[in-house]
Amino acid sequence: MADDTIEITSPYRADFPALSKTMNGKPLAFLDSAASAQKPQAVIESMDTVLTGGYSNIHRGLYEISQNLTQEFENTRKKIANFIGASSEKNIVFTRNATEGINLVAQSWGRANLTAGDEIIITHMEHHANIVPWQILAEQIGFIIKVVPVLSDGTLDLGAFKNLLSDNTKFVGVVEISNALGTINPIDKIIKMVRGYNSDIKILIDGSQGIVHRSVNVTAMDADFYLFTGHKLYAPTGIGVLYGKYDLLQFMPPYQGGGDMIERVSLSSGTTYREAPYKFEAGTPAIVEVIGLGAAVDYLVDISMDKIMEHERKLLEYATQAISDIDGLTLYGTKDLTQKAGILSFTMDCAHSSDIGMILDQCGVAVRSGHHCAMPLMEAMGIDSTARASLALYSDKSDIDALISGLKKVQELFR
């Protein structure tokens, strides 16, 4: 039984204006951060400052505000590189989101390097964003997609993973933390296993949840590509990051054409392109959103990811115990909380996940209901959907207590 005397408060909650609001007349318990996180005041103010105090386009203007904003934009690239342990800002490509980053890798690296009969490996845990782009390309080229199964405890079957590797394997794509289960995959072990089999196999890590819940060092990780989206990392929508090893980025052809990614355009002699990462950033970028992402990174660095991880660990322990005490509730994912991030995915025998979500809404509790863009995983687990409560640095015990109270209300109404 959960200990009601436990006090787990977040000292960062007041930094997020939206959390002072109510929902259906109840204090807001926002437990849908895995879908998109709330924004701290520091991020909001950074974007407001650009829009009201010195907005212009960048990389082209010779006037002061354009030069200043260009410098701030490129300084954010350096911030991101430092934040994820990249060796240079030239490893950092700005995208709209993680989905665009995967599509970029598929349509640029994949189209240039994969041929009929080649094999790539993904897992049953992948978000649709790391499945569909490869299916589209496979239909066009004819390579084979192999899938690593998930064990009943919500972890990857590493033995099966190893057996899928072959002389035809050219690429591996793995999610760092499952957005549907919270399982933290052993990325270091997976990369070592793949490199040990064939060092030429390229490896992509989807870090959309990973970078939110723990420290990341891409150089130590040794992935060829690592990507994430800003809106889950307390930054605005419309901005994401693709990290790539520089020799790979330089070799890859442009993904989109247009302004700012060119050196010279000629109708008679063709077009030449800028070096990486700029050749992948066609057109006017998400200037304000990049500045917002930089502010989010500054905010997280000031707090420290270690403190965030410790806060979320304590809250996950409390939440797991509390939710496990509810009769007829099934919690999905590993029971080893050292291998799990702040995501609780569950079903109840008395109500469908959509009914759970609607009742919780009336209680002021925001959770996600559905397949979480992980239909193959749901199918593998023999269910069509779950309700999902996800934690963030601003979550605290009051959110979990409101969730538990709401779930008891579901029991009262549907039993």
User: Catalytic residues, which ones?
Assistant: 373
Question: How many whole angstroms separate alpha carbon 53 and alpha carbon 49?
Answer: 5
Burial class for 377, CB neighbours closer than 10 Å (0-12, 13-18, 19+): buried
Residues 6 or more apart whose CB falls under 8 angstroms from that of 370 comprise: 353, 354, 385, 386
DSSP structural state of residue 109: I
Question: How many whole angstroms separate alpha carbon 230 and alpha carbon 36?
Answer: 9
In the chain, the amino acid numbered 167 is: D
Cα distances (angstroms) measured from residue 137 to each of 104, 116, 385, 398: 12, 11, 28, 46
Q: Is 260 left (phi over 0), alpha (psi -120 to 50) or beta?
A: left
Cα 354 to the chain's mean position, in Å? 24
In the chain, the amino acid numbered 38 is: Q
DSSP structural state of residue 410: H
Question: How many whole angstroms separate alpha carbon 191 and alpha carbon 202?
Answer: 10
